[in-house]
Amino acid sequence: MSPISFSPSDPTIASSLADATLRGPDNTFLPAPNHFYREGAEFESGSAGLFAAPSAYGTLLAAILRDDGTLLRPETMAMLFEPQLSPEVQTYFDAAVYAEGAEVLSQSLPREARLTQALGGAVCLADVEGRRRGGTLMWAGLANCYWSVDRVRGVALFWGSQVMPTSDRGVLDGFRRFEEGVYGGLV
């Protein structure tokens, strides 16, 4: 899968990095500092800071969806989707995921989606009408990039963005409408 790297100076990545933008209070876009390009990081923090072309990211998500053993053994892949939190920790997770300003974590899903944490990201435990099914694995990035893998419906989604701040309402609304459009088109 190329180009994909944890280093923004990787030659396969550096030439195609998109500039970040910042949505101002008047809804205009301004250049944003690229403070999230962590050059020289020694610890990658479970994919925090992954740089990829959308096509490479799509290839990765498709491999997770296919679960054909080319990326991980099926039993290892299954572990990515398994809830990991105790009931006590789940209470704290719920408070963080649904906190004001943290909508990036819940992808603006309702509480009824019943999110929890798995090894591969957050997992939606219940169906969300017009959107994903229970068991969908998902995550989001600092610059409002979103992905999800719904093995029940056979859908892998990627929404690329370079808009700051995190949890930008306009981007979240765009992703929600994108997801509803994809699921609305399924037969």
List pLDDT tens digits, range 122-160: 999 999 999 999 999 999 888 899 999 999 999 999 999
- Percent of the chain exceeding pLDDT 90 equals 61
Asked if the model's pLDDT at residue 47 lies above 60, the reply is: no
Out of 11-15, 68-72, 168-172, least confident range:
11-15
DSSP summary character for residue 41: -
- Cβ distance 34 to 143 under 8 Å? no
- Is 36 part of any domain? no
**85: CB partners within 8 A, 6+ apart:** 93, 116, 117
- pLDDT score recorded for residue 91: 96
Average pLDDT, stretch 17-30?
90
- Is 33 part of any domain? no
Domain hosting residue 127, numbered range: 54-184
Nearest Cα to 185, choosing from 155, 146, 145? Answer: 155
Number of domains in the chain: 1
Check whether the bond before 33 is cis (ω within 30° of 0).
no
Reduced DSSP (H G I as helix, E B as strand, rest coil) percent helix, strand, coil of the chain, to 5: 30, 20, 50
70-129 pLDDT, tens per residue?
999 999 999 999 999 999 999 999 999 988 878 878 888 988 999 999 999 999 999 999
Out of 9-23, 39-53, 67-81, 151-165, least confident range:
39-53
- Is 37 part of any domain? no
State the pairing for strand pair 21-23/122-124. Answer: unpaired
- Is 31 part of any domain? no
- pLDDT score recorded for residue 42: 64
- pLDDT score recorded for residue 17: 82
- Is 16 part of any domain? no
Q: Give the number of other Cβ atoms within 10 Å of residue 84's Cβ.
A: 13
- Is 142 part of any domain? yes
- pLDDT score recorded for residue 6: 79
Instruction: Tell me what the pLDDT averaged over the chain comes to.
Output: 89
State the pLDDT confidence band at 45, using cuts at 50, 70 and 90: low
Q: At which residue do the structure tokens 């006590």 appear? A: 88
- Is 117 part of any domain? yes
- Is 44 part of any domain? no
Alpha carbon 13 to its chain centroid, in Å, reads 19
- Cβ distance 164 to 143 under 8 Å? yes
